[in-house]
Structure 1
């Protein structure tokens, strides 16, 4: 597109959303048949994402992007989330954290070197926080020890997405183990060609195939101090801020998947006849569809309320945790009803109505991405108690 997408009128923007939906439910679905077996995205996926501006659209105009607002970004994500889960996982990261962490916390030197390379995936990142023996982030074990103008980093990360297609990793590590937990950690941008950087393969996941999950191992890895993000001790703040944003994106992802499953369910219920009567005419099915629609409607209101707050520059951490929590409950209810109403045909891979079986598997990743429901409740309750119940 020649125009700045953020300045398109509503009709033009709706046309772009339609383009992304057709991409997600058409070419992406065809590519996914191969990905389900290989667990790796072919180059065709990246080419289509570039061709359809899915790396560029959320970037600020000054970096060659379209300057979409948060609300517009969420709408684009809702559309591509109707497609394969691994591609959704990749693109939801591309919409924000991929470039925003560097834009928000990187030095002017790093931004000048990398920011305009995000627009066509010349530069892509992964976010390396999770460790096998750590919990919320404050207790991670990876160490970064200052050594003159460098840091020496040792440690291991696990369950890291996009390790197979990134040029750098955002790494959270301990720089001062004796400091209060709020200041123990620091964040770094680590190029993948840094000596001592190693990718550790992991088994295939239940769903979201192709998203490049692996472990990362750092062994005596020497990193120039220019790659420090923010200041020493800012790591926990950077990680928690990033997780808050990503949780909102996960809620949008669940919204897109749930909406597609609702539409497939209604079509199937209209077509399937038992004892001379379409399922959709049966009261029990109508009640299930009403429950699905009600939860999706509520989730959509939550998601776009967060978008308004995000655009206004407000802290969204509490609402993002609430949104993720509600979205998990929503996609669970919707996917369970969807499979139940489809019956046996929904349990098979090749389904003329759509990928019910795969969507059912894909959405289960949402229980775990950016923290399970218990973590979301802790985050939300902490803020509610601090604010006296005021939103």
Structure 2
């Protein structure tokens, strides 16, 4: 396996590192208070090409493979997770469906603007009755002439308030269950489409999620994404592809927590010595570093497998599960290492702790990942 990065990726990685340190981090508290990403930061992100990481060069993107993309996600993950999620949701599940399953006309129509960040992408699968039970969709799509008419709703949709292009799953044939789900590309201005109010969350401030409503929403037939009836399969592919990227973002946050903790334990003194010299503290740092290094190796292994075109359903589920739980453990220990200051909202540690919690829920809960893993194991052992 080769995880080496070419000079272009290394250059972009350094630039992103400086960008998040000098341009995003100083606005972290403002993002928390206003629950939105400053327009200046979004504009600079567009100029750097961050919205086009997953999009091929022929459509105006950077066309970066998964190993390179994870290296960049790792840097993005070191800053405010609301910003991280805005970028990650767009370049991950918000665009990969069109990149991987869109026809040439769809790619030419949507990808160039999405690569420039002029149009933001979002992925709409989850409904009140279809979260972990993703096949239990109620949103319907009925063919009428040269259009499909969508009716229903989605909720907890990341990037909902800023997105222009939505990958939406809806039932086209209720009698076929999972095989009756179809993917659609829905634009925010389509008749009958409405975005609801921003949902107030525990963490991920700045990454706005909201409900979507479809009331006789008119979607042209040419906006069917992939084959009719393959929507559930498409959703699984899109989510599996994004899991290595999500793990890389978690990895960056873990590394940031270690960096902040190491700086703190060298400066903070108790009993006349830096607290790193106390074994209880030193052991927590050792465990944080060990977990993070294991996540780093696993992340790039799965990313390499993706670049090789290998099937990664089981490995991606393992990585998503492991990455989210490592992030939770590292964040918890970082709070403990910092003591009282780690619990104060004026400092970033408690923010990472709150943001870490969602990683065990969104893009497939930890429990669903275990179901996927065990299901793949059964298939392997039956061969």
| TM-score bin (small chain) | over 0.9
Look up the match of 2:163: 166
Q: 1:215 aligns with which of 211, 215, 236?
A: 211
Look up the match of 2:362: 369
**Does the 8 Å contact 1:144/1:152 carry over to 2?**
yes
- The question of 1:190 aligning with 2:179 is answered no
C-alpha separation between the residues in 2 aligned to 1:311 and 1:197? Answer: 36
Task: Give the Å deviation of 1:12.
Answer: 4.8
Q: 1:235 aligns with which of 231, 235, 242?
A: 231
With structure 2 as the length reference, what TM-score do the two structures score?
A: 0.95
- The question of 1:245 aligning with 2:238 is answered no
Look up the match of 2:88: 92
C-alpha separation between the residues in 2 aligned to 1:217 and 1:272? Answer: 52
C-alpha separation between the residues in 1 aligned to 2:272 and 2:378? Answer: 55
Q: Unaligned regions of 5+ residues in structure 1, if any?
A: 1-7
- The question of 1:381 aligning with 2:374 is answered yes
Higher deviation after alignment, 207-216 or 93-102: 93-102
With structure 1 as the length reference, what TM-score do the two structures score?
A: 0.93
Look up the match of 1:139: 136
Runs of 4+ with deviation above 3 angstroms: 8-13
Higher deviation after alignment, 215-224 or 380-389: 380-389
Look up the match of 2:151: 154
1:153-207 Cα shifts (integer Å, max 9, x gaps): 100100001112111211100000001x331100000111111101111432111
For the residue of structure 1 that corresponds to 2:51, the secondary structure is coil
**Number of residue pairs matched?**
379
For the residue of structure 1 that corresponds to 2:175, the secondary structure is coil
**Does the 8 Å contact 1:73/1:95 carry over to 2?**
no
Change (3 A) 1:188 1:12: closer
Task: Give the Å deviation of 1:115.
Answer: 1.8
1:246-266 Cα shifts (integer Å, max 9, x gaps): 222221111110111011111
- The question of 1:60 aligning with 2:39 is answered no
Look up the match of 2:338: 342
- The question of 1:76 aligning with 2:72 is answered yes
Instruction: Give the alignment's Cα RMSD to 1 decimal.
Output: 1.7
1:102-129 Cα shifts (integer Å, max 9, x gaps): 1222222222212221221122221110
Q: Unaligned regions of 5+ residues in structure 2, if any?
A: none
